[in-house]
Structure 1
Amino acid sequence: MEDSHFRTVQEVLEFFGTDPKNGLTSAQSKPIAKSNEEEEEEKKKKKNKKPNKMKQNKNGKNIELPPPPKTSWISLVIKQFQDMLVLILLGAAVISFVLSWLEEGKSYWETIVEPSVILLILICNAVVGVWQESSAEEAIE
């Protein structure tokens, strides 16, 4: 009974002709359980199994696919700036620069400090992202 896990307890007990207090006798359990020798024999068969020659003749041998072309570092950099959060931060840097420029009484350096910090963070983020992606591509090869 291979589907005993789907059956009720009573159905399983009736199938094996036993009761829940005594269980199966040794004679009843022998045909059910596989011996260690049978299990080892099955493992050897699976291990020594040869590929199906008919399938090879029909479909051909397995071939290795050519590796995908390497991604250029410029496209990796561009990819880093296509993220929505990065685009929002770029917009914030531009808006911050424009508002600082329009504000009277600020020197040139005071105007560019905040946008420069945002841009510096984004550039650092892009460098780390490109480095990680190129390392991942090399690991795949």
Structure 2
Amino acid sequence: MKNNEQSKEKLTPIQFEVTQNNGTEPPFRNEYWNETREGIYVDIISGKPLFSSLQKFDAGCGWPSFTKPLTDEEIIEKADHSHFMVRTEVRSKSGDSHLGHVFDDGPGPNGLRYCINSASLRFILKENLEKEGYGEYLNLFSQK
């Protein structure tokens, strides 16, 4: 859905800028940076599940941060040399959209912090997983 009129009609301006033009939304002024309810985060473009609230943590950076994705199959990591830095970009495989970046300063067992733009995500509350078609993810929350 790269840079076409269809995606411009379906997405808000910030969603389009982030997902299609590799943009970044402002820290602490985005939809999910301080979301604490249980649920999953799906790709705003493809609807594929990407992250769970169970791996979300407050990194103090102003963007949603996760220790790992729900599944590695939907995440692509690419070298990013923009803005005079060397970073690792995180992209959605199915949606071919920019999600954010992954850094090696996270608290999890792998030491990773997936710093993701809210504008690239849609949050689905645990209570709505079944009705939204993501019922297979309910068992994640019963294992806590």
Q: TM-score, normalised by structure 2?
A: 0.16
Greater strand percent: which structure? 2
Q: TM-score, normalised by structure 1?
A: 0.16
Say which one has the larger Rg: 1
Flag the structure with more relative contact order, 1 or 2, with Cα contacts below 8 A and sequence separation at least 6: 2
Greater helix percent: which structure? 1
